[in-house]
A and B are shown apart, each in its own frame.
Chain A
Amino acid sequence: MSDQTIGLSDVVIGKPASRRTGNTLLKCAYGATFIIVVAMVTIPIAALIYGSFRTAAPGMPAEWTLRNYEGLASPGVIATIGTTLWIGLLSSALCIVIGTAIALLVHRTDFKYGKVVTMLVGLAFYFPSFILAMAWIIIGAPGGIFNAVVDDMLGLSWLRIDIYTTMGIVLVMVLHQVPFVYLTMRGPIMGMDGIYEEAARTAGATPSRVITRITLPLLSYSLISSFILTFIITIEQFAIPALIGIPGQVNMLATQLYLLVRFSPTDYGLAAAIGVALSAMTGAAIWAQRRVSSAGRLTTVTGKASRLKPIPLGRWKWLAYILCFGFGFLALILPMTILIYTSVLKWFTANPFDGLYTIRNYAYIIESASTIRSFWNTLLVSGVGAAAGVLLGLMCAYFTLRLQPRGYRILDFFVSLPFGVPGIVLGLGLLWAYAYLPLPLYGTLALMIIAFVTRFLPYATETIGGQMVQIDKSLEEAAWVNGATPLEGVSKILLPLVRPSVQGAYFLLFMAFFREISSAILLYTASTAVVSISIWSFFEQANWGLASALSVVATLIIFVAMGLISRLVPAARQG
């Protein structure tokens, strides 16, 4: 009895002191997170808006003006906006149809090779857009492989294609973004309680009517949400429209911005205004998406294991094979094959029997100091940058979802803002900002890391936050009741429990940074080039062989890293 009393008074004496130190630490962390996030997000955006009202390039003497916004109404820019919307809507619609069809085939029918298809789609998801676009240019350019085969070898000149067109862009966009739709639709499809479909079957509906009357309507909110997200990543996509559209003079807003900054006559002010306009479009789309997904959540996910019998495909089996494996072939296998083929050719030829083979491209990669440096730069940016991004994301998730100190809503708002800012626009904003800020960041890898972390902070926060909200608050409270300080509650209970999502977020950011090009393209200098930029430059110099060899190496690194990580930390795959 007396022992207990002593124990109790111990706690009473011990508690306030430790709680105070814990609180101070947390307060400092909150303050630091708040300042870093707000600065990181506002500086480029403010600079961009500032730039859009100036008459000259960053750092030059200039005056205030509205001229740049008038420029938005010029026929050229209006046409670009039209093209952007058209490509965005068309590609997203096609992606939704194909991606959802694949997801339904894999998860709702007796389709046999679901695992293979899931793997192909997963690999395609991590296949960098600029590498895919390059491969398709080698295939589909007027002097490319496809035309050489159908026209020069088979004499079927009416079959000639030209990738440098709007439809060419749409084709590659779709191939690149179908995996995204598949991945966003897979969860809702798998999580849906099968009982709704069974009820329809016993009520007299055939399997195909069940899909159209029950399954798809129940998925409608997920479909709309996925459609809008696909639209956003399509209109902010930079590499595909740049590589394919610029030679064919098909401009989207992102490429027009790039042209205005990179090629004379440059017009940084108009570029900034275009950046603002593009961000407004993506911002509006994100707002719509949030509305849809919060308004229309039908409770179809009961968490009850469903025993749903797979729908027999019967004679539609072949169509399913064609769709799934056709996609895998066009989005992954064919481009990879073409890149490997091109990388070992001395001079480009469409006929493999005419080719002179060499490994000089690979030898060059190993010997060239600048290429090796770009690899080190990439590893550094991806490795260190992802760690920084995850740490910041973890802080943001903890403060906005758990601790919720004063002003956490403001933090939440700033964290989600970069979702609406396309990569190239962010790059331009930073370009404007660091021309004025007295920080020696321009031309450093640090600037590259800042750009990448800013751009992908929302992804890190959402990944970690998604798991954090599922962890019952009482688990932490139980630790407090048993004598743990808030800080100990975090380190001993919360952190171990969210570890899988932290690993997942690291994996996600590492992969994203490794492939990122749109926010780097305006920021790099010779000494800070990353692999994606090196590939890009080789390709721009029409050195297809070297670009292909480097792409093959980069892709292999990505796939090997993916395989390793998902084997070592299975939970990371959730990310």
Chain B
Amino acid sequence: MSITVENLVKRYGAMTVVHGISFEVGRGEFVSLLGPSGCGKTTTLRCIAGLEDAAGGIIRIGDRIVSAPDQDILIPPHERQVGMVFQSYAIWPHMTVGENVGFPLSIRKVSAADVAKQVDEALGIVGLGPFKDRHPSQLSGGQQQRVALARAIVGRPKVLLFDEPLSNLDAKLREGTRVEIKRLQRKLDVAAVYVTHDQEEALSMSDRVIVMDGGRIEQAGTPKELYRSPVNRFVADFVGRASFIDVVRVEGGAGWRTPSGALIDVDDSSFNGAGTYQAMLRPEGIDIMEDANAGKPGRSLPGTISDSHYLGAYTEYVVDAGGAKVKVHSKRDFDVGSPVMLRFSPENCRLVSSPAGTGK
């Protein structure tokens, strides 16, 4: 089943927190909602689940309209057949693991024998078979998380919804569970919406990522599209690390110039005339040369190393160049204060629009 969201609007009193967003999640597709805290990710997810009443727009699950306040349609959550994993798991403390997982079935009047069979199966899938009769208080955080996962998939939901399910786990466990969630979703072949503010999680798990800010969608696309061709500075900054250099268009459109006057070659396929622009550089797409004269015109900038952070696999250098602080990753050692030359190819130097005033 697919999920279609059209012009979804959500208000709390007079405050609008979701401003008419639209997106689609195809069958078997895994889509992440990514954005800073308070941008409306959870709210959007809860509107899909029916835990929150939308104020406008249409939400479809499969062919069925589940939310269309303009037509007075607001299907309650228990009729939407969703599976949802909550951030704090919400494992009912008065039920055993088996009863928790069996709840979506028994509440739909599935016979006891079938419930037992499917619960065993679901617990087997998440590797908690022997824990069936335990109480939630006797489980670790990671195990509780897997109970929540089993409970979400046991009722054969049409769609799966996740609200930061991994944020309470430690880094190691998080990686393992990512793989597991992905595997389950593939197996069930359902549409999944995954809310997170961890960009690494979003990039590694998703077929597509939707970047939100302030209740609006900034960009939607595959992880590669987002990383390589962000449409604006916000997306570029939020997805991965990036540095930005102010640029202005040379009269006649013959290239782009930094504040210091240097001409640089920029991939300006996203240029559409109006607005202010910056050139975005990813730290791994830049080479540092010791020889300050080794640069090719248009594809290099002279600078001075102003700071360095040793991170093991590489060192992150902050270089004053082109009137900005440019982050560069390199395996080689340089001293703070030494003059260097930064080299990059045009495909790693992309033009992004930047809202006036935030340019730096």
Could you list which residues of chain A lie within 8 angstroms of chain B, going by C-beta atoms? 193, 195-196, 198-207, 209, 213-214, 217-218, 220, 298-300, 302, 304, 307, 309
Contact = CB atoms under 8 A, between A and B. Distances in A.
A116 B202 CA distance: 48
B90 A206 contact: no
B52 A204 contact: no
B107 A205 contact: yes
B78 A204 contact: yes
17 contacts: A196-B90, A196-B93, A198-B90, A200-B92, A201-B50, A202-B50, A202-B80, A202-B82, A204-B81, A204-B108, A205-B78, A206-B76, A206-B78, A207-B76, A209-B107, A218-B93, A299-B93
Interface centre among B46, B84, B88, B90 (most CB of A within 10 A): B90
Contacts of B84: 199, 202
> How big is chain B's contact interface, by range?
20 to 34
A61 B257 CA distance: 115
Contacts of B50: 201-202
A206 B155 CA distance: 15
Contacts of A309: 51-53
Contacts of B82: 202
A377 B185 CA distance: 75
A196 B144 CA distance: 14
Interface in B131-185: 137, 151, 155, 161
Given A203-B151, A203-B155, A204-B107, A302 B88 contact: yes
B86 A195 contact: yes
A309 B74 CA distance: 13
B52 A214 contact: no
A217 to B, nearest CB: 5
B322 interface: no
A204 B92 contact: no
A203 B94 contact: no
A177 B19 CA distance: 49
B103 interface: yes
B144 to A, nearest CB: 12
The 5 closest A-B pairs by CB, nearest first: A199-B90, A203-B104, A201-B77, A202-B84, A195-B90
A307 B52 CA distance: 9
Contacts of B34: none
A214 B106 CA distance: 13
Nearest to B87: A195
Contacts of A199: 84, 86, 90, 92, 151
A193 B103 CA distance: 19
Given A201-B50, A201-B77, A307-B46, 9 more contacts: A198-B90, A199-B84, A199-B86, A199-B90, A201-B78, A202-B49, A203-B103, A299-B137, A300-B93
B78 A218 contact: no
A550 to B, nearest CB: 49
Contact of B76 (A200, A201, A298): A201
B94 A204 contact: no
A209 B53 CA distance: 20
Contacts, number: 74
Contacts of A299: 93, 137
* Chain B interface main SS type: loop
A204 B151 CA distance: 11
Contacts of B40: none
B12 to A, nearest CB: 9
B356 to A, nearest CB: 36
Given A298-B93, A298-B94, A200 B103 contact: yes
B83 interface: yes
Nearest to B106: A213
Nearest to B49: A202
Nearest to B105: A204
B92 A214 contact: yes
B137 A213 contact: no
Nearest to A199: B90
Interface string B108-148: 10000000000000000000000000000100000000000
A276 B101 CA distance: 51
A198 B51 contact: yes
A307 B53 CA distance: 12
A214 B77 CA distance: 16
Nearest to A206: B78
Contacts of A203: 78, 103-104, 107, 151, 155
Contacts of A202: 49-51, 77-78, 80, 82-84, 161
Q: Which of B80, B94, B103, B155 has the most CB of A within 10 A?
A: B94
B52 to A, nearest CB: 7
Nearest to B155: A204
Contacts of B52: 307, 309
Contact of A218 (B51, B53, B92, B104): B92
A304 B92 CA distance: 16
A220 B94 contact: yes
A298 B137 CA distance: 9
B94 A218 contact: yes
B88 A217 contact: no
Nearest to B104: A203
A206 B109 CA distance: 13
Nearest to A296: B94
Interface string B59-78: 00000000000000000111
A227 B6 CA distance: 50
Contacts of A302: 88
Nearest to B151: A203
Contacts of B103: 200, 203, 205, 213
B157 to A, nearest CB: 9
Contact of B51 (A193, A201, A213): A201
Contacts of B86: 195, 198-199
A198 B78 CA distance: 10
Interface in B33-51: 46, 49-51
Nearest to B77: A201
Contacts of A205: 78, 103, 107
Interface centre among B51, B52, B83, B93, by most A CB within 10 Å? B51
Nearest to B92: A196
Contacts of B107: 200, 203-205, 209, 213
A205 B76 CA distance: 10
A193 B53 CA distance: 20
Contacts of A209: 107
